[in-house]
Structure 1
Amino acid sequence: MTQSSVHGEGTRPGTVRRARGGGNAGGAGTGGQGTPGGGNGRRPGRRRAGRRHRALRWSATTLAVLILGTAGAGYLYYEHLNGNIEKGERSSGDSKAHKAEPNAAGQTPLNILLVGSDSRASDANVSLGGGRNHRDNPPLGDVQMLIHLAADRKSAAVVSIPRDTRVDIPECTDPDSGEKYPATNTIVNESLGRGGAGCTLATWENLTGVYIDHWMTIDFAGVVSMADAVGGVEVCVNQNVWDRPLPGVPGGSGLKMEAGRKKVQGEQALEWLRTRHAWGSDLLRARAQHMYMNSMIRTLKGQNVFTDTGRLMDLAEAATKSLTVSEEIGTVKKLYDLGMQLKTVPTDRITMTTMPTVQDSQNANHLLPAGDDAERMWAMLRDDVSFDDKGAKGGGKETGTGTGTGEDAGKDGGQGSGEKPSEDSAAPDSEIGVTVQNATRSATLGPVGGRAGAVAQALVQKGFGKATKDTSAALSEERTVVRYPSAELAGDALRVAEALGIPASAVRKSADVSGITLVVGADWRSGTSYPEQKTPEAGDLPDNSDAINGSDTGKCMDVYKPYRW
């Protein structure tokens, strides 16, 4: 309607009405000029109305240009930020982890792997990290943290694995060069150089059984720019600290600060995160990193950056230039949406931890996952049990996500299959073929001989006459699982699990098997009935997990005596 009336006004300026009772065009014109005698007395009003319409037209046009110009600039800036983001393949290794099934509300947990790279591939990283003669070396993932956001988005957990922890690294393929790396058993920080962050992700999935949705990596220069963009992060030491080379102990981050609380940013923030000798161990370095992250989260929550355009742009530039991310979150919008999900978690429902470890008997400088304690932590993540006890009471899971029946990640990215096997669809026990594999070797324990044969014989005695053992070398699987290749065998697989007391959540579709395969894991080292598993409770973390709550502002680092001044 507005367009029509404006258009009508625009077609009439040369038209002259003859006034009733005489007058001519000139008189009308004179009257139109404001002469009191001539023509229709309403004409001056119409003229004024015409001028008002023309003014509105010009205003609307100007406003439209401004809006379009601003929108264009905004679009160009958005595209600029998108162009800053480097992306990579989500998983480049052989993994069997499967995505959790949605809870009753349709929600699923979100798991993000954060990797700090020691890459010296750029001049900026060489100047910050030293090691000019190591510039061409494969990068090491010296900082590795798994961020777990609960399905209901009411709590979050962060777990670090110390860089010198020896684990199984699966076969990986470098997504850029196509080079294949065979499976190996070595310290976890080497996984980054054996196929990129996608190999580190697969390594974590196999170790924990937790499906990881995304990864992010950041290097030395990125840490500095992010710390500057945030405006500094408060840290605390109980004594004066100077992390420097000492006789017989080379290296050191260079961190030098007096006792007490201080905001660190730029290079000093990087020094804090890299310090190890002055704290006394790699485990204590993880604690210092957790304290920094908690403080940064509190800092960001206390700043209303969305009302400060300059600050917001600085943060956006720093974040998009600093991070390399898995390709499925490689846009500004997706990273923003991810940040908004993390923002919803209250600070006092964030728990920072380190995987429990023991010393490696093969190398005193290395660590191993601490058996049952490490497995308890992974079980809590798999079952979406909060690391704190501040949520809904009643024990166990707050969200009821569970792991359900899903598909393995090996060929299809680990998405849930949506199939619910039913015993009703199972063939008679005597007609179900089952292959039993021994996968009882774990990160800390060797394999138990004869397990495949013992469990296969138990199945035969229960009426599964076609059960046989796999005679190949013992594998490694933390949890027992029953795999089946296609939908028509789902019921048979569930029947096998039920006969041995294996939970239905351990029955999974997999493209890696040709028939029903029972993999006896490290959690079933004896007996012919699957041992009852303890259901983890909220807050039931191992004592050696070094848990720190996100709202705890009273933490300070003790300095190892040789590095005090």
Structure 2
Amino acid sequence: MKAQGWEGRQVAQTGVRKDVPVVEDEGTGSLTTRDEQFKDAANGRGRHDGGRHGDGGRRGTARSPRRRRVLRWSATVLSVVILGTAGAGYLYYRHLNDNLETGRRSNGDSKAEKPQPNAAGQTPLNILVIGSDSRNSAANLKLGGSRSSVGSKPLADVQMLIHLSADRESASVVSIPRDTRVDIPECTDPETGDTHPATNRIINESLARGGAGCTLATWENLTGVYIDHWMMIDFAGVVSMADAVGGVEVCVEQNVWDRPLPGVPGGSGLKLESGRQKVQGKQALQWLRTRHAFYSDVGRAKAQHMYMNSMIRTLKQQNVFTDTTRLMDLAETATEALKVSEEIGTVKQLYDLAMQLKTVPTNRITMTTMPTKVDPQNANHLLPADADAEKIWSMIRDDVAFDKNGKATAKKPRNTDGSKEKASADPAADDAEIGVLVQNATRTDAEGAVDGRASALAGALVGKGFTRAAADTTIGLSAEKTVVRYPSAELEGDARRVAESLGIPASSVRRSTDVTGVTLVVGADWRSGTTYPEQAEPEAGDVPESAGAINGSDRSQCMDVYAPYRW
């Protein structure tokens, strides 16, 4: 076939109707309507060949020229359709990629290292999800907050870590309340290039000191967990995602109205009648932001976990990944709503990530909040509850499931020295050159401090060759768990060497801005002896009660409302 066209030839010229598409015969130069060609093709013959040879005039098994032309034409049209569709798909893919905003994975000083693969070559996946309180757009300002906040660096009001197990069969989620005071490392602002020095402030300020990458580094230093990626969403993004999902079921025990009260300003504006109902759009945002009506930041985290579990169940019921229209709607909304770390900054990478999360059944998903206690420096702030918080983080580091619904798995092998942690890259000085300050923090609310603990352990260190070890005379210190702290990278190896000499696990060696040198803080978990007691390894489902665990399949959860906010 030489030419094909949808423009008609003149009737006087060809004898063919003007409105019928024609094709020039490659062999004879005569013109044929496409309708005739399709008819002939359907009958298994070409028009001219049928007239010339009849049914008995077929030459062997060779196809007629006309039939070959029809098949060529059909293949050409099919190719154009496929290429056109692929082109449109590619353009849409480019469009979705252009929607995504990305940033550096880490902008802070962090020493966390990737975990080693298990026997099957698998590694866990950790994703930090951040909810920003940004008012720096008309859409966000309309949804809440003061106009005085416009232009200010956003804070990280919601922070939760999603841990996907190495075998991709379970997922554990841990939130940290925004007013928890922690060590924030030195961070560089990705927009201005300004460097912020290390500090000890509430964790939601980390976002303003270096973006999501600084929040990630803060989490890594606090938990010892390597975090692979971050995702960030603002007010407007929450609203659009809630609308795209089509609403999420939540529950309150009493009528709730989170509003300003005398002496208590603010409030999300959430107003619901008791019972179960769907929230979406602005109302979904109000649910996720409600704090006063749910007693505290800890209560707010529980409400957020209820929402997330319900949303996951909703998405699974909708079969999103097999419904092309729904998937495209969600893809459009998600790529506009999310900002992500650059290594997952394409639609394909996000889709691959979603497919990994999709495999986890709801009864293997567990939502928790890091156990906390009141900050003695400020009653409105919190501190990690050392022993229970450390248990949560050790379960994440060791890839131990938060639920008991999976198969029993073999425990991770230890190194030849009995540890499971990767050795520090910083070499230790000679023992005699390492300065160590020992603090007695064995006091608890139930028991007083053990007299002489700092002196006893300083003496034990001197006996082991750490001749510069000394006891701190400060009294009244309290810590649930023993830790070895160090202020800067060049002292990490020294701190690890001190811990090793006393049998303290490497996971209890922490960088901290609260100390000026290597400091052994003897906690309530070590009230006697000079060798740190061996700690039992956590089992699947052995989550501290103070973490408020909620299983993803639990539909019975319902929020109790603080009495002043009932109506």
Range into which the TM-score falls when normalised by the shorter chain: 0.7 to 0.9
8 A contact 1:156–1:351 mirrored in 2? yes
C-alpha displacement of 1:63? 0.9
Aligned ranges 1:14-93 → 2 under 5 Å: 34=51, 41-42=57-58, 49-93=64-108
8 A contact 1:145–1:161 mirrored in 2? yes
Would the alpha carbon gap of residues 193 and 31 (structure 1) be closer, same or farther in structure 2, given more than 3 Å must change? closer
| 1:547 corresponding residue in structure 2 | 549
How many percent identity over aligned positions? 66
Letter of the 1:239 counterpart: Q
Would the alpha carbon gap of residues 191 and 506 (structure 1) be closer, same or farther in structure 2, given more than 3 Å must change? closer
Identify which range, 363-372 or 291-300, moves more after superposition: 363-372
CA distance in structure 1 between the aligned counterparts of 2:188 and 2:124, rounded to whole angstroms:
28
Letter of the 1:297 counterpart: I
CA distance in structure 1 between the aligned counterparts of 2:194 and 2:497, rounded to whole angstroms:
41
CA distance in structure 2 between the aligned counterparts of 1:56 and 1:295, rounded to whole angstroms:
53
8 A contact 2:439–2:454 mirrored in 1? no
CA distance in structure 2 between the aligned counterparts of 1:337 and 1:297, rounded to whole angstroms:
17
SS in 1 for 2:106: coil
C-alpha displacement of 1:359? 1.3
| 2:422 corresponding residue in structure 1 | 406
C-alpha displacement of 1:391? 2.2
CA distance in structure 2 between the aligned counterparts of 1:258 and 1:200, rounded to whole angstroms:
36
> Does 2:379 match 1:364?
yes
Would the alpha carbon gap of residues 431 and 211 (structure 1) be closer, same or farther in structure 2, given more than 3 Å must change? closer
Would the alpha carbon gap of residues 80 and 479 (structure 1) be closer, same or farther in structure 2, given more than 3 Å must change? farther
SS in 1 for 2:87: helix
Bigger RCO of structures 1 and 2 (CA < 8 A, at least 6 apart): 1
Identify which range, 220-229 or 320-329, moves more after superposition: 320-329
C-alpha displacement of 1:72? 1.1
C-alpha displacement of 1:498? 6.2
C-alpha displacement of 1:366? 1.2
Would the alpha carbon gap of residues 64 and 218 (structure 1) be closer, same or farther in structure 2, given more than 3 Å must change? same
| 2:204 corresponding residue in structure 1 | 189
Would the alpha carbon gap of residues 238 and 401 (structure 1) be closer, same or farther in structure 2, given more than 3 Å must change? farther
8 A contact 2:248–2:280 mirrored in 1? yes
SS in 2 for 1:222: helix
> Does 2:281 match 1:266?
yes
Letter of the 1:551 counterpart: S
Letter of the 2:310 counterpart: S
| Aligned residue among 98, 109, 122 for 2:113 | 98
SS in 2 for 1:325: strand
CA distance in structure 1 between the aligned counterparts of 2:385 and 2:400, rounded to whole angstroms:
20
For residues 363-403 of structure 1, the C-alpha deviation after alignment (integer angstroms, 9 at most, x for no partner) is 11111111211111111111111111222347xx6666998
| 2:321 corresponding residue in structure 1 | 306
CA distance in structure 1 between the aligned counterparts of 2:244 and 2:424, rounded to whole angstroms:
40
| 2:14 corresponding residue in structure 1 | none
Q: Provide the aligned length of Structure 1 versus Structure 2.
A: 504
Would the alpha carbon gap of residues 471 and 137 (structure 1) be closer, same or farther in structure 2, given more than 3 Å must change? farther
Structure 1 regions of 5+ residues with no counterpart? 1-9, 16-29, 411-420, 511-516
C-alpha displacement of 1:470? 10
Identify which range, 114-123 or 81-90, moves more after superposition: 81-90
| 1:435 corresponding residue in structure 2 | 434
8 A contact 1:151–1:399 mirrored in 2? no
CA distance in structure 1 between the aligned counterparts of 2:48 and 2:262, rounded to whole angstroms:
103
C-alpha displacement of 1:36? 6.7
CA distance in structure 2 between the aligned counterparts of 1:139 and 1:343, rounded to whole angstroms:
31
Would the alpha carbon gap of residues 137 and 408 (structure 1) be closer, same or farther in structure 2, given more than 3 Å must change? farther
C-alpha displacement of 1:354? 0.9
Would the alpha carbon gap of residues 200 and 494 (structure 1) be closer, same or farther in structure 2, given more than 3 Å must change? closer
Identify which range, 152-161 or 265-274, moves more after superposition: 152-161
CA distance in structure 1 between the aligned counterparts of 2:509 and 2:459, rounded to whole angstroms:
20
Aligned ranges 1:135-146 → 2 under 5 Å: 135-146=150-161
SS in 2 for 1:53: helix
> Does 2:540 match 1:538?
yes
Aligned ranges 1:340-419 → 2 under 5 Å: 340-393=355-408, 404-406=420-422
Would the alpha carbon gap of residues 309 and 373 (structure 1) be closer, same or farther in structure 2, given more than 3 Å must change? same
8 A contact 2:440–2:454 mirrored in 1? no
| 1:418 corresponding residue in structure 2 | none
Letter of the 1:13 counterpart: G
CA distance in structure 2 between the aligned counterparts of 1:364 and 1:504, rounded to whole angstroms:
32
| 2:292 corresponding residue in structure 1 | 277
| 1:116 corresponding residue in structure 2 | 131
Would the alpha carbon gap of residues 393 and 311 (structure 1) be closer, same or farther in structure 2, given more than 3 Å must change? closer
8 A contact 2:526–2:533 mirrored in 1? no
What is the TM-score of this pair, normalised by structure 2? 0.78
8 A contact 1:279–1:560 mirrored in 2? yes
CA distance in structure 2 between the aligned counterparts of 1:282 and 1:409, rounded to whole angstroms:
38
SS in 1 for 2:57: coil
For residues 331-383 of structure 1, the C-alpha deviation after alignment (integer angstroms, 9 at most, x for no partner) is 11111111111111110111111111111222111111112111111111111
8 A contact 1:329–1:335 mirrored in 2? yes
Letter of the 1:212 counterpart: I
C-alpha displacement of 1:256? 1.3
CA distance in structure 2 between the aligned counterparts of 1:145 and 1:282, rounded to whole angstroms:
13
> Does 2:27 match 1:13?
yes
Letter of the 2:373 counterpart: V
For residues 386-421 of structure 1, the C-alpha deviation after alignment (integer angstroms, 9 at most, x for no partner) is 111222347xx66669984436699xxxxxxxxxx9
CA distance in structure 2 between the aligned counterparts of 1:370 and 1:493, rounded to whole angstroms:
22
Would the alpha carbon gap of residues 93 and 42 (structure 1) be closer, same or farther in structure 2, given more than 3 Å must change? closer
C-alpha displacement of 1:315? 0.3
> Does 2:335 match 1:333?
no
| 2:140 corresponding residue in structure 1 | 125
Would the alpha carbon gap of residues 211 and 409 (structure 1) be closer, same or farther in structure 2, given more than 3 Å must change? farther
CA distance in structure 2 between the aligned counterparts of 1:119 and 1:64, rounded to whole angstroms:
48
> Does 2:243 match 1:213?
no
Structure 2 regions of 5+ residues with no counterpart? 1-23, 30-46, 512-516
CA distance in structure 2 between the aligned counterparts of 1:57 and 1:439, rounded to whole angstroms:
86
Would the alpha carbon gap of residues 43 and 346 (structure 1) be closer, same or farther in structure 2, given more than 3 Å must change? closer
Would the alpha carbon gap of residues 441 and 225 (structure 1) be closer, same or farther in structure 2, given more than 3 Å must change? farther
8 A contact 1:95–1:409 mirrored in 2? no
| 1:561 corresponding residue in structure 2 | 563
For residues 247-291 of structure 1, the C-alpha deviation after alignment (integer angstroms, 9 at most, x for no partner) is 222221111121111111111100110111222222111111100
Letter of the 1:369 counterpart: P
CA distance in structure 2 between the aligned counterparts of 1:493 and 1:560, rounded to whole angstroms:
46
SS in 2 for 1:278: helix
| 2:265 corresponding residue in structure 1 | 250
Letter of the 1:325 counterpart: V
| Aligned residue among 190, 201, 204 for 1:175 | 190
CA distance in structure 2 between the aligned counterparts of 1:202 and 1:479, rounded to whole angstroms:
20
CA distance in structure 2 between the aligned counterparts of 1:291 and 1:247, rounded to whole angstroms:
29
For residues 478-498 of structure 1, the C-alpha deviation after alignment (integer angstroms, 9 at most, x for no partner) is 754999x99xxx9x9999876
CA distance in structure 1 between the aligned counterparts of 2:457 and 2:285, rounded to whole angstroms:
52
Would the alpha carbon gap of residues 99 and 253 (structure 1) be closer, same or farther in structure 2, given more than 3 Å must change? same
SS in 2 for 1:406: coil
SS in 1 for 2:339: strand
CA distance in structure 1 between the aligned counterparts of 2:152 and 2:505, rounded to whole angstroms:
45
SS in 2 for 1:236: strand
Would the alpha carbon gap of residues 214 and 453 (structure 1) be closer, same or farther in structure 2, given more than 3 Å must change? farther
8 A contact 2:438–2:470 mirrored in 1? no
Letter of the 2:51 counterpart: G
CA distance in structure 2 between the aligned counterparts of 1:31 and 1:294, rounded to whole angstroms:
69
CA distance in structure 2 between the aligned counterparts of 1:441 and 1:331, rounded to whole angstroms:
51
CA distance in structure 2 between the aligned counterparts of 1:197 and 1:449, rounded to whole angstroms:
44
SS in 2 for 1:285: helix
